[in-house]
């Protein structure tokens, strides 16, 4: 089949901007929960637990979203490969926005008792289900609109929506957490979630205006579809699914240690101000906004694997220094630790979207990329704060077991990326 004609540059830019903004909004919703889980949900929804147990319970509700993500990837991947990428993006954005607003309206344990955490878990599951389907559609729209030689650059801007979402979530939460604590716990924590309704309307307006992927449209005319894309993926590409999954272990685990665990560890174990910790995450997110597209563009020139391996190797080396810097109890050193860590993470996250997309054929690409990406989410990102908090509890607050855990994650990723094929010159 001949290659699909490249869309006009203005069309590509419009699609990339729409995917970037939509991804920013969805991850604002997702990360807002993580920040709240680290700082306030233990007191609002698990007040009868001690500090450590309450934090672990709060992170457990946080992890529910990660376990929902593979299911979302399977369901939306199926319909994305059968119906199209665009309609799935609109649906997932709506799911995320509604769930986030409803979290802001939830009663707390003091008002509703055990029903409060039950409802929290249900809405977190819906959040995870939505974001599990969103990522594949957003990156495929950018990858399949972008021409050969520029796919890493275009897809990396979708990835850059993640740190912008994190930046917005922490900036808004930082603003309201500076209120008197009594007011913040009474109603201030709700406002960042309720603001999600404004972002939802903006994202829906933009995503409804973009065109379907030309590569997908051409594939629809080039023979029968896979009857059940997820089954076809597992029959034809099982190795690539496993390697993509393993490639995410370090990327996902390190990211949530740098952005979520550092908040609870810094406030409860080190005694740092939560505002200073949030400022560090804000700085790191700003650095990632620049670094992710740069690493994506670099992967177009030298390949996906060298850039990805460089990031994983750097973080392996940085695992112990990160906790040493945080342990100095100096705000500038904590900021430096988070900024360096997230910059290293960007070397993996920049080429990742194009890399995973290029591993699969068009008719199963949404399912394949989503499955490889999302299967790692519960095992790496979802469990990372819980495992790290448990390790800190077992070690009496000493961070070295967490550093060892991160090194194991990095080794898994390095092996998987090393075994994967190079894809940056592959024809879609």
Q: Domain with 338 in it: what CATH number?
A: 1.20.1250.20
Amino acid 220: pLDDT: 65
Which pTM was predicted?
0.82
Most confident among 2-6, 57-61, 137-141, 322-326 (mean pLDDT): 322-326
Residue 255 has pLDDT above 80, yes or no: yes
Amino acid 310: pLDDT: 97
Question: Does residue 277 lie in a domain region?
Answer: yes
How far apart are alpha carbons 118 and 113 in whole angstroms?
A: 9
- Other CB atoms within 10 Å distance of the CB of residue 183: 11
pLDDT band at 204 (very low <50, low <70, confident <90, very high): confident
Residue 213 has pLDDT above 50, yes or no: yes
State mean pLDDT over 188-202. Answer: 85
Which residue, among 279, 209, 251, has the nearest Cα to 13 in the 3D structure?
209
Amino acid 1: pLDDT: 44
pLDDT band at 298 (very low <50, low <70, confident <90, very high): very high
Question: Does residue 58 lie in a domain region?
Answer: yes
226 secondary structure, DSSP code: P
Pure H helices in 208-360? 214-220, 229-236, 238-256, 262-264, 274-302, 304-327, 331-358
How far apart are alpha carbons 23 and 369 in whole angstroms?
A: 16
Beta strands in 99-235 (DSSP E): none
pLDDT band at 34 (very low <50, low <70, confident <90, very high): confident
Q: At what angle do helices 400-419 and 384-394 cross, to 10 degrees?
A: 140
Q: 117 or 5, which is more confident?
A: 117
Residue 21 has pLDDT above 90, yes or no: no
- Sign for the CA dihedral angle at 264, 268, 270, 275 comes to positive
Amino acid 323: pLDDT: 93
Question: Does residue 428 lie in a domain region?
Answer: no
Residue 11: burial class (beta carbons within 10 Å; 0-12, 13-18, 19+): middle
pLDDT band at 367 (very low <50, low <70, confident <90, very high): confident
Amino acid 10: pLDDT: 62
> Which residue range(s) make up the domain with 91?
9-419
Residue 236 has pLDDT above 70, yes or no: yes
Amino acid 377: pLDDT: 82
Question: Does residue 426 lie in a domain region?
Answer: no
Q: Tens digits of per-residue pLDDT, 156-181?
A: 998 998 889 888 888 888 888 888 88
Question: Does residue 33 lie in a domain region?
Answer: yes
Question: Does residue 44 lie in a domain region?
Answer: yes
Q: Which two tokens stand for residue 323?
A: 């906790």
Question: Does residue 424 lie in a domain region?
Answer: no
Query: How many domains does the structure of the chain reveal?
Result: 1
Amino acid 362: pLDDT: 72
Question: Does residue 104 lie in a domain region?
Answer: yes
pLDDT band at 202 (very low <50, low <70, confident <90, very high): confident
């Amino acid at each position: 089949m001949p290659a699909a004609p490249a869309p006009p540059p203005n069309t590509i830019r419009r699609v990339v901007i729409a995917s970037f903004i939509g991804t920013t909004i969805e991850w604002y919703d997702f990360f807002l929960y993580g920040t709240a889980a680290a700082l306030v949900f233990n007191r609002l929804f698990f007040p009868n637990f001690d500090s450590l147990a309450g934090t672990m319970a709060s992170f457990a509700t946080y992890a529910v979203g990660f376990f929902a993500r593979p299911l979302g990837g399977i369901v939306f991947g199926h319909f994305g490969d059968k119906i199209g990428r665009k309609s799935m993006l609109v649906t997932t954005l709506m799911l995320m926005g509604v769930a986030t607003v409803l979290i802001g309206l939830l009663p707390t344990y003091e008002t509703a008792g055990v029903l409060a955490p039950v409802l929290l878990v249900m809405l977190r599951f819906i959040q995870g289900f939505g974001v599990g389907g969103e990522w594949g559609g957003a990156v495929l729209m950018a990858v399949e609109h972008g021409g050969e030689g520029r796919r890493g650059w275009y897809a990396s801007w979708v990835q850059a929506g993640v740190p912008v979402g994190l930046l917005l979530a922490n900036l808004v939460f930082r603003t309201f957490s500076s209120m008197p604590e009594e007011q913040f716990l009474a109603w201030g924590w709700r406002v960042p979630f309720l603001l999600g309704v404004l972002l939802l309307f903006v994202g829906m307006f933009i995503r409804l205006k973009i065109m379907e992927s030309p590569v997908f449209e051409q594939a629809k005319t080039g023979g029968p579809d896979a009857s059940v894309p997820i089954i076809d993926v597992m029959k034809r590409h099982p190795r690539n699914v496993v390697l993509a999954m393993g490639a995410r272990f370090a990327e996902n685990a390190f990211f949530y240690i740098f952005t979520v665990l550092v908040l609870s560890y810094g406030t409860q174990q080190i005694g740092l101000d939560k505002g200073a910790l949030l400022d560090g995450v804000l700085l790191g997110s700003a650095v990632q906004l620049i670094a992710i597209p740069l690493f994506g563009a670099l992967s177009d020139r030298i390949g996906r694997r060298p850039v990805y391996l460089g990031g994983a190797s750097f973080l392996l080396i940085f695992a112990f220094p990160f906790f040493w810097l945080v342990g100095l109890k100096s705000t500038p050193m904590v900021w430096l630790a988070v900024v360096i860590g997230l910059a290293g993470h960007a070397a993996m996250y920049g080429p990742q979207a194009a890399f995973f997309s290029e591993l699969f054929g068009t008719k199963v690409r949404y399912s394949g990329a989503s499955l490889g990406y999302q299967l790692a989410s519960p095992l790496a990102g979802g469990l990372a704060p819980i495992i790290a908090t448990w390790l800190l509890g077992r070690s009496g607050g000493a961070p070295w077991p967490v550093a060892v855990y991160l090194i194991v994650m990095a080794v898994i990723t390095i092996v998987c990326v090393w075994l994967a094929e190079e894809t940056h010159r592959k024809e879609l």
